[in-house]
């Protein structure tokens, strides 16, 4: 992850700001295309995080969400505004993920209990940065409202029978399915890394 220039955070802005400045400056000066995958919720929706989100909602007179956690706006706003000042951001991609039948909560569910969804649905929207509010407060409110939309979107998604679950089409949206060739390629990649991991683990334990 370090080789891919991941940004490692403490999830405390007073500690993370200098690290963000360093990495964002690197991205903007390197001259290459970049992607920052950001989770404004800060963590996955485990029972502990859900309870914290509920308390946060009560403290701030907000509605408790069932399908998402309340987003933290500080880091998002700082990153977007920093890249705006550098003139090195054109789009934001809004990604919503829904599981067709079962939700994998952790690696333990997958590796130990064999929990694996048969279908994973992604809704991806490409948003022009010029269409987002220019000021910090407006940008934070935009993110909060986006999460309200996600809550309702996922509520509608999970209210459907598992066999027919899918996201409602967005205006001018397109449906994409993985082709057989891509599927075979992905299976080869997974098999390779699974075998490599097992060999590495065997050598390490022996």
User: What is the DSSP secondary-structure string of 68-87?
Assistant: S-PPPHHHHHHHHHHHHHTT
User: Is the separation of the CB atoms in 117 and 52 below 8 Å?
Assistant: no
Average pLDDT, the chain: 88
Residue 142, Ramachandran bin (φ over 0: left; ψ between -120 and 50: alpha; else beta): alpha
pLDDT-derived band at 136 (thresholds 50, 70, 90) equals very high
pTM: 0.81
Q: Positive or negative CA dihedral for 91, 170, 99, 70? A: positive
Q: d(Cα 178, Cα 163) in Å, to the nearest integer? A: 18
Instruction: Say if residue 67's pLDDT is above 90.
Output: yes
pLDDT-derived band at 2 (thresholds 50, 70, 90) equals low
User: Is the separation of the CB atoms in 82 and 21 below 8 Å?
Assistant: yes
- Give the pLDDT confidence score for residue 151 in this predicted structure: 96
């Amino acid at each position: 992850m370090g080789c891919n220039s991941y940004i490692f955070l403490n999830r405390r802005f007073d500690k993370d700001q200098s690290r963000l400045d360093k990495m964002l400056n690197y991205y903007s000066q390197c001259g290459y295309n970049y992607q920052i995958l950001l989770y404004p919720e800060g963590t996955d929706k485990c029972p502990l995080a859900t309870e914290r989100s509920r308390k946060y909602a009560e403290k701030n007179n907000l509605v408790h969400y069932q399908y998402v956690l309340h987003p933290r706006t500080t880091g998002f706003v700082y990153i977007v505004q920093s890249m705006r000042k550098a003139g090195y951001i054109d789009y934001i991609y809004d990604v919503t993920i829904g599981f067709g039948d079962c939700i994998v909560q952790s690696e333990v569910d997958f590796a130990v209990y064999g929990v694996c969804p048969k279908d994973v649905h992604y809704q991806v929207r490409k948003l022009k940065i010029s269409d987002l509010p220019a000021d910090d407060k407006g940008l934070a409110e935009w993110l909060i409202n986006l999460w309200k939309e996600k809550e309702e979107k996922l509520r509608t998604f999970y209210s459907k029978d598992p066999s027919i679950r899918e996201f409602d089409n967005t205006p001018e949206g397109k449906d994409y399915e993985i082709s057989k060739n891509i599927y075979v390629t992905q299976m080869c990649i997974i098999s390779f890394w699974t075998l490599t991991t097992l060999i590495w683990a065997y050598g390490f334990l022996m």
